Amino acid sequence: MAATVAEDYAALAERLREVTALSAIGGVLGWDEQVMMPAGAASSRAAQQSALAGVVFQLETVPELGALLAKLTTDGKTPLPALVDPLEAAVVRDAARGYRKRTALSKELAQREARLSSEGYQAWVAARKASDFAAFAPVLTQWLSLTKEKCAAIDPGKPVYDVALDAFERGMTSARLDEIFSQTRDGLVPLLAAVRSRGTAPDDSWLAGSFDVDKQAALCKSIAVDMGFDLERGRLDVSVHPFTGGAGPSDVRMTTRFKENDMFEGITGAIHETGHSLYEQGRLGGAFEGLPVSDALSMGVHESQSLLWERMVGLSRPFAAYLLPRLHAAFPGALPAEKTAEDLYAAINKVRESSLIRVEADELTYPLHVILRYELEAALLRGEIAVEDLPALWDAKMQEYLGVTPANAAQGVLQDVHWSAGALGYFPTYLLGAMMAVQVFQAAARALPTLDADIAAGRFGGLKTWLNEKLHSKGSLYPSADELMIAVTGEPLRPAVYLAHMKVREMRCLSDCADTCYSGQVFGAVQALMHLLK
């Protein structure tokens, strides 16, 4: 590229890296708040986060940044042709996108948003406690109005829901979501009906017991390290709500929690967060460290990495073979010696009781919880339904998709925190992540012929490196998850892949039953899916 373009690009990169460094500090503070901070520091910490956010926002919207971006783009959006390196072009594209979004909002609107976030949370907590939707409705009404105002300011030419969605799942549209989710819903509902009341539950009672949490923590740490988590560039701690955060690829902080009487809460959580962490640690470094192209593409893609490890790896037969001897080593004599890896595989895939609650749902019903929320929030933002009708519509959809009806608003429309914080457009990322996890894992399995044997032997390096190369290091190079999927798997996100996987799991379970004959005691992972909703 021309000398002056190179200089402008270097100046842009320096500004962006400064913002990244300051934002990363926010990540350390957020982690500290959850894991380390004494309770009495809450209000001074809020003042610190607020001061930092103010500084970051000021640097992100400073006119000098806009001037640089104007010089490096043809129209404030498209990088100059002289930026021939696609990664550098993506840096300019994403920096311009961020600048446009941030400068579109007035300070007054940003302050109103911050206030409503705080008030909305309080109102939601109280309304859920009282199971009183009417007490929460005004908050939701305000969020809908504020979101419309915000989206119109950012991109008046696009549907409101598309602009809202873009904050969490960039490049996704409601048209595309309608396509993906309707196919998924239409495939899952009959599948659910088919599996309902079939089969019997596998035995997982032998996994019950009391397990020292320090030993659980040591075991989970060793699993994370086996998976490839780099302790030189991260930490594993305990917090009330497990999360992955920290300050970028060289300082990834993940947390998990342990229950003395349920070791799989800790193990599953650790595998899930390690999936997120491997993405974070695998982000692009070198010349692109701290620049937007190295950022994770979207919430959905991030969730695909945690779910790939949690479900596709962690609930697999070979993983059970890897895990069983480690359980015996961690808790000598605590588990019956005669149990096999196949027993473990069955037990950890046992389907929980059918639930009205999203966070307690399992693999087969979870998508329908998400689709229900997507349909309702999109209809609200399009003005097709009214806030006051929401509880009745919620209950009707629950009955239609899942065959159950909530007894009250607390177990229904008020169960999730998201809307109270104005996170409209967030829910779809959960299901997109689950779908991408299947499609990406299948591509990995095609590329890595010894994957099953490797997993059984605890050799996760091949899979991790493949994900590093194909996905993690691509960051935000591609402008949407669909384009990333094409690059990684050869095709855009395809609901049929996900649905086929669900069906195959069921088919496999039936054939497994025929093949192995564990006297009705042992069931494969998705065999257990048949016992849903009893």
Instruction: List the 244-246 sheet strands across, edge first.
Output: 234-238, 252-256, 244-246
How near is the Cβ of 238 to a second copy at its closest, in Å?
Answer: 13
Contact track, a second copy, 123-152, x by CB under 8 A: ------------------------------
In angstroms, what is the minimal distance from the CB of 244 to a second copy?
Answer: 14
Instruction: Find the shortest distance in angstroms from Cβ 475 to a second copy.
Output: 16
273 is catalytic: yes
Q: How far apart are CA 371 and CA 401, in angstroms?
A: 9
155 binds a second copy (CB under 8 A): no
In angstroms, rounded to a whole number, what is the distance separating the alpha carbons of residues 128 and 420? 11
SS3 call for 250: coil
Q: Is 110 in the site for a second copy (CB under 8 A)?
A: no
Site for a second copy in 261-290 (CB under 8 A): 289-290
Instruction: Choose between 247 and 321: whose C-beta lies nearer to a second copy.
Output: 247
- Biggest CA–CA distance in the chain, Å, is 75
Q: Is residue 228 part of the contact set for a second copy (CB under 8 A)?
A: no
Which residue is listed with tokens 């994403």?
A: 94
User: 3-class secondary structure for 214-230?
Assistant: HHHHHHHHHHHHHHCCC
Q: Choose the catalytic residue: 273, 303, 342, 377.
A: 273
Compute, in degrees rounded to 10, the torsion defined by CA atoms 451, 452, 454, 460. Answer: 70
Q: Of 22-30, 140-148, 183-191, 372-380, which part binds a second copy (CB under 8 A)?
A: 22-30
Binding mask 289-328 for a second copy (x = CB under 8 A): xx--------------------------------------
- In sequence order, what E strands does 29-170 have? none
**119, 251, 452, 483: which one binds a second copy (CB under 8 A):** 251
Q: Are 314 and 268 in contact, with CB atoms under 8 Å apart?
A: yes
- CB 79 to a second copy: min, Å: 25
Examine residue 210 and tell whether it contacts a second copy (CB under 8 A): no
> Shortest distance, CB of residue 165 to a second copy, whole angstroms?
31
Whole-angstrom distance, CA of residue 280 vs CA of residue 302: 9
Q: Write the binding mask 46 to 75 for a second copy: x where contact by CB under 8 A, - elsewhere.
A: -xx-xxx-xx--------------------
Q: Of 19-27, 345-353, 385-393, 485-493, which segment contacts a second copy by CB under 8 A?
A: 19-27
Quote the CA–CA distance of 111 and 146 in Å, as a whole number.
Answer: 11
Q: Are 59 and 17 in contact (CB under 8 A)?
A: no
218 binds a second copy (CB under 8 A): no
Q: Which stretch binds a second copy (CB under 8 A): 112-120, 247-255, 419-427, 488-496?
A: 247-255
β strands within 179-292, DSSP E: 234-238, 244-246, 252-256
Gyration radius (Cα) of the chain, Å: 24
Looking at 20-28, 145-153, 156-164, 503-511, which segment touches a second copy (CB under 8 A)?
20-28
Residue 470 and residue 495: Cα distance in Å, rounded? 21
Query: Quick one: 17 or 534, whose CB is closer to a second copy?
Result: 17
Nearest to a second copy of 55, 208 (CB atom): 55
Does 392 participate in binding a second copy (rule CB under 8 A)?
no
Does 452 contact a second copy by CB under 8 A? no
If one asks whether residue 449 binds a second copy (CB under 8 A), the answer comes out as: no
> In terms of residues, how long is the chain?
534
Q: Which of residues 26-45 bind a second copy (CB under 8 A)?
A: 28-29, 32, 36-41, 43-45
Report whether 325 contacts 317 (CB < 8 A): no
Sort 482 into a burial class: Cβ within 10 Å, 0-12 / 13-18 / 19+.
buried
Distance CA 481, CA 433 (A): 10
Residues that bind a second copy (CB under 8 A): 17-18, 21-22, 24-25, 28-29, 32, 36-41, 43-45, 47-48, 50-52, 54-55, 230-235, 247-248, 250-251, 289-290
* Residues known to be catalytic: 273
